[in-house]
Chains A and B, each alone.
Chain A
Amino acid sequence: DAGITQSPRHKVTETGTPVTLRCHQTENHRYMYWYRQDPGHGLRLIHYSYGVKDTDKGEVSDGYSVSRSKTEDFLLTLESATSSQTSVYFCAIQPSGGDGELFFGEGSRLTVL
């Protein structure tokens, strides 16, 4: 058990509303990632973090922002949700000193109507 929890696990919201997904880890790993998974696209990186207040963009970052004020929490925010952001969102941690393998949270299914 990698000690990663995501919340909420399921959310339905309307276009234009703000949404925040939370990723919480219990093991103080430095690197954390947010991916989205869509059919036919695999997993695509949205944002990642390499420490408190240290974040950077991934390949599909438009429309998303992140924050990491504590080691254990990595928040993903959709400032104004759109239907194209309907997806399954995965948070992952990457243990330092490993080979680069990721350990994932359970996923958060977001539906934007």
Chain B
Amino acid sequence: AQKITQTQPGMFVQEKEAVTLDCTYDTSDQSYGLFWYKQPSSGEMIFLIYQGSYDEQNATEGRYSLNFQKARKSANLVISASQLGDSAMYFCAMREGGGGSYIPTFGRGTSLIVHP
């Protein structure tokens, strides 16, 4: 079974609108972390945001926020006020456990296209 599921292969959004990229996860650990990465067409992988399983508040980083719903095991990325430069692949990832090596597992990604 996949540990990280991203059900949206592609998403489209109008510039300046908000968009939500879905991510659900599967783990039996109590301590875990969730991440989002961005991969623009140039190919590099960029770390965006992190949410810990014990964090009570949703993580935010500038225009990025993580809508963490623990009971539903979802960790959706919300991008507010989309910009053309947000067009990219977005990957959700999870690491399990609270110590030692954190080995992240990635979802298959969602392609986001921002229209002018």
Contacts and interface: CB of A to CB of B under 8 A. Distances in A.
B103 A45 contact: yes
Given A88-B43, A100-B95, A101-B35, A31 B108 contact: no
Contact of A43 (B46, B91, B101): B91
Nearest to A101: B47
Contacts of A104: 44-46
Q: Is the interface of B mostly helix, strand, loop or mixed?
A: strand
Interface string A43-62: 11100101000000010000
Contacts, number: 57
Interface residues of B, number: 24
A99 B33 contact: yes
Among B91, B107, B109: residue with most chain A CB under 10 A? B109
A74 interface: no
A90 B35 contact: no
B109 A94 contact: no
B44 A100 contact: no
A100 B45 contact: no
Contacts of B6: 42
Contacts of B93: 43, 102
